[in-house]
């Protein structure tokens, strides 16, 4: 019966994630794929259902994230398609989006999301602020394919472009001036790989996690430089940042000329959102 299958999976995942998270993953897999009413009825799986379940269990036991197994992840109340070409959306990023929405941008505002990945930031802003023009760029064409599919699936109107922000001089002139630039860029130092869980390190895209550069904060500097050129006077940068590097990132933006820097804590009380204003 399905309840037994869920319990067995939870037990197999416990050495990897611990009992509580293992139980949550097993229950989430069942409810997302079969639906909560089906799970509550505790049926015996038919041959096709059992084959899918067993294949999914093997992938999870190999540390593949449950969102990739399902091909979807929830973000801000909407279901986004995800695959290993894009990062799995995180709750901290929902807080970043919520911060922008609560800032009440003018209806005529133009917003750019840099390193859009699945498109979760840009598409959510497009749907929550329908009169605002939303643009998104990413260096990965595979990631942009996911963004564009989510854009279509969710009925958003994000304008996407393939671009490398580290070499923005090549394309900056093709973009308008923006009122807001938002980014959750790669910022993990490759030296920290040993501390990361296998489900992240083995499956999520390395280029979206690690700043493959001698300076792990290079994206903050380059996006800051880009913003000096492409933000309207009084426009804002919104960054998701590593909690341990807030002071250094603030210093870099101040050196570039940004003012009114504001650091906000996430729901765990960690400094994860940084806002800066162009004079």
> DSSP assignment, residue 71?
T
pLDDT for the residue 89: 94
Taking all residues of the chain, what is their mean pLDDT, rounded to a whole number? 91
Q: Which has the minimum average pLDDT: 13-22, 124-133, 201-210, 225-234?
A: 201-210
- Per CATH, the architecture of 84-277 is what? 3-Layer(aba) Sandwich (3.40)
pLDDT, tens digit, for every residue of 115-167?
A: 999 999 999 999 999 999 999 999 999 999 999 999 999 999 999 999 999 99
Q: Where are the domains of the chain?
A: 2-62, 84-277
pLDDT for the residue 193: 47
Reading the block at residue 266, the tokens are 């996430």
CB 196 within 8 A of CB 128: no
pLDDT, tens digit, for every residue of 27-83?
A: 999 999 999 999 999 999 999 999 999 999 999 999 999 999 999 999 999 999 999
pLDDT for the residue 211: 57
Residue 80: its H or E element: strand 78-81
pTM: 0.91
pLDDT for the residue 244: 87
Q: Residue range 247-263: average pLDDT?
A: 97
Residue 206 pLDDT level (bands cut at 50, 70, 90): low
Give the integer Cα–Cα distance in Å for 190 and 210. Answer: 6
Give the integer Cα–Cα distance in Å for 249 and 185. Answer: 13
Reading the block at residue 261, the tokens are 């820097």
C-alpha closest to that of 154 among 177, 181, 124, 199? 124
DSSP 156-169: ---EEEE--GGGGG
CB 25 within 8 A of CB 60: yes
Residue 268 pLDDT level (bands cut at 50, 70, 90): confident
The residues near 245 (Cβ < 8 Å, ≥ 6 apart) are: 187, 217
């Amino acid at each position: 019966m399905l309840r037994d299958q869920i319990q067995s999976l939870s037990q197999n995942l416990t050495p990897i994630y611990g009992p509580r998270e293992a139980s949550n993953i097993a229950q989430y897999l069942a409810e997302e794929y079969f639906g909560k009413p089906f799970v509550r009825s505790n049926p015996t799986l038919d041959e096709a259902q059992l084959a899918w379940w067993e294949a999914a269990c093997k992938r999870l036991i190999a540390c593949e994230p449950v969102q990739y197994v399902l091909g979807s992840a929830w973000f801000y109340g909407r279901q986004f398609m995800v695959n290993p070409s894009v990062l799995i959306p995180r709750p901290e990023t929902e807080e970043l989006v919520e911060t922008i929405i609560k800032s009440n941008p003018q209806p005529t505002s133009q917003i750019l999301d840099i390193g859009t990945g699945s498109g979760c930031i840009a598409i959510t802003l497009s749907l929550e602020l329908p009169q605002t023009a939303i643009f998104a760029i990413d260096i990965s064409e595979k990631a942009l394919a996911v963004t564009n599919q989510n854009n279509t699936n969710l009925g958003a109107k994000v304008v996407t472009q393939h671009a490398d922000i580290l070499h923005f001089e090549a394309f900056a002139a093709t973009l308008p001036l923006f009122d807001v630039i938002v980014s959750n860029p790669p910022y993990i130092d490759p030296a920290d790989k040993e501390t990361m869980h296998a489900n992240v390190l083995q499956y999520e895209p390395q280029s979206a996690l690690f700043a493959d550069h001698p300076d792990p904060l290079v994206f903050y500097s380059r996006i800051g430089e880009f913003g000096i050129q492409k933000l309207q006077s009084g426009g804002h940068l919104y960054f998701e940042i590593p909690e341990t590097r807030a002071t250094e990132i603030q210093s870099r933006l101040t050196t570039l000329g940004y003012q009114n820097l504001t650091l906000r804590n996430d729901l765990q009380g960690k400094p994860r959102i940084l806002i800066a204003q162009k004079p």
